[in-house]
């Protein structure tokens, strides 16, 4: 098998090669192949030991050898190292929101773009974020009602994205660049915006869902908001190694299937990590359903709502959506300071990642399935939409946390104690 791989591999990209992910069934076979490639001076583009994955250029002209390699009993799969893209719709330059450069795999429709241009100028003044109060989007998911009990209590959230930039409303506890660089700074703006929604500190009036949570920047997408599946998997493995309890992935793979990414998300879930992923921005007309990794049962899939409590026009429809959260004209942090207004299921996703941090802070023993179950059971179903648009409905974090039930129980206990005291007198 090592000889087959060697005969198909190339040390560099060319017109005859394709970047591929090779998954092995056993670690020993992975190690032997790595050693064989090294002996011949071929360094894989990436290698992921825990996942038993090698990323390399395979020569398309070696048809027989490629078929034999794919059919080998020690090879689990060979698949393209697909590109994934951020699920954000960037701000209109006319609004002066800042140089956030988001390029979606499938651009927003002309209808969506017209609505963004017409309303984005109003988004800043309509947000309820003055005087340190909770923004409208945070209120829509009831996060502010949980804050008297917890603000996230140091629960870690790994933002797998374009990185996180400097902003007074963000504190980054650490990070990694899985694309080969050393910096996890944000050169796009998308990751910084997502991070602010999840855990903005509120110093400038924009408080995130879980302002007490710890942010970790995992830079797996480039300046254009794109990255390879292998970059994501590296980021997931880093979070597993660092025991970060929540992963936010405001990105997706549309219309393709990746066994490697599915297995990585499953490994994360089995490690106790809550994986939250955005559904996609293809709207109701897309036949591919929601994107991966949101499509996986091991992830919590999030659709987008508007301020008026409707499902956003751009939000992808399909089986597998768990809950919905605000994603239309959301104001959040941008690199270098200040804020920007953006839309997309990218913006919905960190509402749920931040919400998971609140739930974990209140109950550290909650499993990924336990968090998903609570979010589903307490969601507010929107009339006029089926489950393929909203899942179980708009997330209601206070209800998921049982805050009202606990408050009611406390009132009953207080009344009972007062009654007992009166009887003694």
Taking only Cα atoms into account, the Rg of the chain, rounded to an integer number of angstroms, comes to 23
Three-state DSSP state, 10? strand
- Residue 265 near residue 299 (C-beta atoms within 8 A): yes
Using alpha carbons, list the distances in angstroms from residue 191 to 64, 186, 377, 395: 43, 7, 29, 22
Q: 126 Cβ partners below 8 Å, 6+ apart?
A: 136, 307
| Separation between Cα atoms, residue 10 and residue 14, nearest integer Å | 9
| Separation between Cα atoms, residue 316 and residue 344, nearest integer Å | 10
To the query of whether residue 87 is one of the catalytic residues in this protein, the response is no
To the query of whether residue 161 is one of the catalytic residues in this protein, the response is yes
Set 9, 120, 129, 161: catalytic member:
161
HSE-up of residue 370 (Cα within 13 Å, Cβ side)? 13
| The pair of three-digit structure tokens given for residue 9, joined into one six-digit string | 């591999």
Q: How far apart are the first and last CA of the chain?
A: 87
| The pair of three-digit structure tokens given for residue 380, joined into one six-digit string | 């507010």
Largest Cα–Cα distance in the chain?
94
Return the DSSP state at 114: H
Return the DSSP state at 6: H
Instruction: Select from 270, 263, 370, 352 the least CA-distant residue to 23.
Output: 263
Using alpha carbons, list the distances in angstroms from residue 400 to 28, 141, 197, 355, 396: 45, 10, 19, 9, 6
To the query of whether residue 297 is one of the catalytic residues in this protein, the response is no
Instruction: Select from 310, 312, 347 the least CA-distant residue to 331.
Output: 347
Exposed (0-12), middle (13-18) or buried (19+): which is 245, by Cβ within 10 Å? buried
Set 190, 193, 298, 315: catalytic member:
190
DSSP H or E segment with residue 325: strand 323-326
- Residue 283 near residue 313 (C-beta atoms within 8 A): yes
Set 278, 346, 348, 398: catalytic member:
346
Using alpha carbons, list the distances in angstroms from residue 309 to 253, 300, 312, 381, 387: 27, 20, 9, 10, 15
Residues labelled as active-site residues: 161, 190, 346
């Amino acid at each position: 098998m090592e000889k087959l791989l060697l005969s198909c591999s190339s040390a560099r990209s060319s017109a005859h090669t394709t970047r591929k992910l090779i998954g092995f069934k056993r670690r020993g076979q992975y190690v032997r192949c790595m050693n064989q490639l090294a002996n011949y001076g071929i360094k894989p583009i990436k290698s992921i030991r825990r996942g038993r994955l090698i990323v390399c250029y395979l020569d398309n002209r070696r048809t027989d050898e490629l078929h034999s390699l794919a059919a080998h009993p020690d090879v689990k799969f060979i698949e393209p190292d697909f590109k994934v893209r951020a699920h954000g719709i960037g701000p209109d330059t006319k609004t002066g929101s800042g140089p956030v450069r988001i390029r979606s795999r499938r651009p927003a429709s002309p209808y969506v773009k017209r609505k963004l241009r017409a309303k984005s100028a109003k988004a800043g003044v309509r947000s309820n974020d003055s005087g340190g109060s909770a923004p409208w989007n945070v209120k829509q998911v009831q996060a502010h009602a949980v804050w008297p009990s917890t603000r996230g209590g140091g629960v870690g959230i790994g933002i797998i994205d374009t990185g996180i930039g400097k902003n007074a409303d963000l504190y980054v506890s650490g990070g990694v660049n899985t694309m080969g660089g050393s910096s996890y700074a944000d050169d796009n703006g998308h990751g910084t915006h997502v991070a602010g929604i999840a855990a903005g500190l509120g110093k400038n009036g924009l408080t995130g869902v879980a302002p007490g949570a710890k942010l970790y920047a995992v830079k797996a997408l480039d300046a254009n908001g794109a990255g390879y599946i292998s970059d994501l998997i590296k980021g997931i493995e880093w979070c597993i190694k660092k025991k970060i309890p929540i992963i936010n992935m405001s990105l997706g793979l549309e219309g393709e299937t990746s066994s490697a990414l599915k297995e990585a998300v499953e490994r994360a879930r089995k490690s106790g990590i809550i994986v939250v992923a955005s559904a996609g921005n293809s709207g109701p007309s897309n036949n591919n359903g929601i994107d991966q990794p949101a499509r996986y049962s091991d992830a919590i899939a999030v659709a987008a709502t508007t301020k008026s409590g409707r499902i956003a026009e751009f939000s992808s429809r399909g089986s597998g959506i768990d809950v919905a959260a605000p994603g239309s004209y959301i104001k959040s942090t941008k690199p270098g300071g200040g804020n920007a207004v953006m839309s997309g299921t990218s913006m919905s996703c960190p509402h749920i990642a931040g919400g998971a941090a609140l739930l974990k802070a209140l109950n550290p023993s909650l499993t990924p399935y336990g968090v998903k179950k609570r979010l589903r059971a307490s969601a507010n179903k929107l009339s006029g939409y089926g489950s393929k648009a909203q899942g179980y409905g708009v997330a209601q974090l206070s209800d998921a946390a049982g805050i009202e039930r606990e408050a009611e129980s406390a009132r009953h206990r207080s009344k009972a104690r007062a009654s007992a005291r009166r009887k003694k007198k």
